[in-house]
Amino acid sequence: MSVRGIDILRDPSLTHSTAYTPQDRERLGLRGLLPYGYNDLSQQEERVLQNMRRKENDIEKYIFLSALQDRNETLYYHTALNNIEEVMPLIYTPTVGQACREFAQIFRRPKGFYITPSDRSQIAQILDNWPEKNVRVVVVTDGQRILGLGDLGANGMGIPIGKLALYTICAGIHPKYCLPVMFDVGTNNEELRADPLYLGYPEERLGGDTYLELMDEFVAAIREKYGNALIQFEDFLTPNAYKLLNRYRDEVLCFNDDVQGTAAVALAGVMAGAKAADVPFRDLRIMFLGAGSAATGIGDLMARALESEGLSQDEALSRLWFVDINGLVVDGRDDLQPHNMPYAHKEEQLGFLAAIRRIKPQVLIGATGAPGTFTKDVVQLMAEQNERPIIFALSNPTSRAECTAQQAYEWSQGRALFASGSPFEPVMLNDTIYKPGQGNNAYVFPGIGLGALAGKLTLLPEELFLTAAKTLADCVSEEDLRFGSLYPPLTEIRNVSRKIAANVARAGFEMGVSSLSALSDGQLEAQLDSETYVPIYD
């Protein structure tokens, strides 16, 4: 029997709320259950925006939008897609950082799936409790390194929820295919564990082989229940980020967004920046402040990109330099992690400013989580050494950015090509408007996910992230560059995601990591059409 009456009004995936016509109300048993007046989807959207804008601060807007998602999915995604520049910062960075900090305090309604050490040997069994049986995209975090905010334990569930909303908004992947997972193995944040409102597993973090065995069970359970569902690892501490990626990448359709998604977005921005600065990409010297998973992930992909331009591996690595809390990453240091070793060059130990003077990079990329580390001296030195210095302050949320857009433009006399991880408002300087680009991973991971689904991919080789980066860079117009933006406007993100998806699907098929026996352009376009959810009432 089809859903009728009050049940259809209370089902967030089915309800049209006040958009039912008199005929619909008669047919579905809704007479008397709704006000007399009729509002179509656009009128409902206007009501949402008016109510949202009345909220006094961004966290209240986040809570309001989350509640809308709980009661009317179509209206939520319709409103977000039509007003993406206003809504995306509210449902993801930067507001999601505060939402994760306060996740237990603002908890309203359960969302997502939780796994704890208590579920050992039963993960496949309890996955049967998830209502959707055709899950195709999974985002999982263990909450240990949420943005630049550290160990937030189970409060980190806000990240998978937000990322999967972006899969739907930015690429059109249907929300019923999406599963947010909190791999809750405890927290070393004593303040959280002592909070009586904290909802997570109230023990110190699980580690070592026990941690890996539980993750193995989870990954095996996903494959058992959902076949070749895409698994996205999100906001894991650097050692675990690499450990898990290397453990599963050759066996499972998976990727780490902090390592590979960030890398693709940053690479695309640098490629666009090189074009604006009129410097061949292969001739760039690139310096990173920060040497964690995000920074070295960018470096790894940039090395591949430089090799694709004709450089040898050694030549490519020689263009990439890293500075961490102890200074320049150089050969002979005894405190480096394995992922840092390829970038440990034969050079004397130098501090940050001295390293810039010596290496003379054209590109400076911040991935530190430490606000204000791109000081006036740093930006001015970059501007002294380069006509158009390329400066990326990628740390999230906005409060953690290495410098602001205003600072980058002012300190470089408007010559910097600037991008950030979280959004900044346009800057007026000397009668010129600069529109800073946001190097948000949302430009890449939704398109990669859509491409994986449409192309029936079985693995995501590193080359596909290079494909995504080149596609994104090609989407940056001359007009975008004239305004100082190294990324296309967010209003174009569905078109961008579609182009990335098509190129990733084609490249994956050509590499032999697709289960399809054939993939023509016509088949691919039809498959992308069938995979794309449009948030309108049926």
CA angle 218, 221, 222 (to 5 degrees): 90
Which residue, among 447, 452, 448, 455, has the nearest Cα to 520 in the 3D structure? 455
Q: What is the DSSP letter of 156?
A: G
Contacts 24+ apart (CB under 8 A), 529-533: 531/172, 531/173, 531/174, 531/450, 531/453, 531/454, 532/171, 532/172, 532/450, 532/498, 533/77, 533/168, 533/172, 533/173, 533/174, 533/175
Catalytic site residue from 61, 62, 163, 434? 163
Distance CA 224, CA 203 (A): 29
CA distances to 205, 216, 240, 324, 449 from 247, rounded to whole Å, are 20, 9, 10, 26, 20
Phi first, then psi: give them for residue 330, nearest 5 degrees.
Answer: -135, 160
Q: Which residues contact 248 (CB under 8 A, 6 or more apart)?
A: 219, 231, 254
- What single letter denotes the amino acid at residue 163? K
Distance CA 339, CA 329 (A): 12
Q: Which residues contact 484 (CB under 8 A, 6 or more apart)?
A: 409, 417, 418, 434, 435, 436, 437
Phi first, then psi: give them for residue 256, nearest 5 degrees.
Answer: -110, 115
Question: Is 76 marked active-site?
Answer: no
CA angle 507, 509, 511 (to 5 degrees): 70
In SS3 terms, 307-375 reads as HHCCCCHHHHHHCEEEEECCEECECCCCCCCHHHHHHCECCCCCCHHHHHHHHCCCEEEECCCCCCCCC
Q: Which position has the token pair 């994986």? A: 452
Contacts 24+ apart (CB under 8 A), 55-61: 58/89, 58/90, 58/94, 58/95, 58/98, 59/95, 59/98, 59/99, 59/102, 59/106, 61/90, 61/95
Catalytic site residue from 92, 167, 177, 409? 92
Question: Is 346 marked active-site?
Answer: no
Neighbours of 200 (CB within 10 A): 25
Residue 131, judged by CB atoms within 10 A of its CB (0-12, 13-18, 19+), counts as exposed
Q: Cis omega before residue 397 (within 30°)?
A: yes
Distance CA 483, CA 428 (A): 11
- What single letter denotes the amino acid at residue 47? R
The catalytic residue positions are: 92, 163
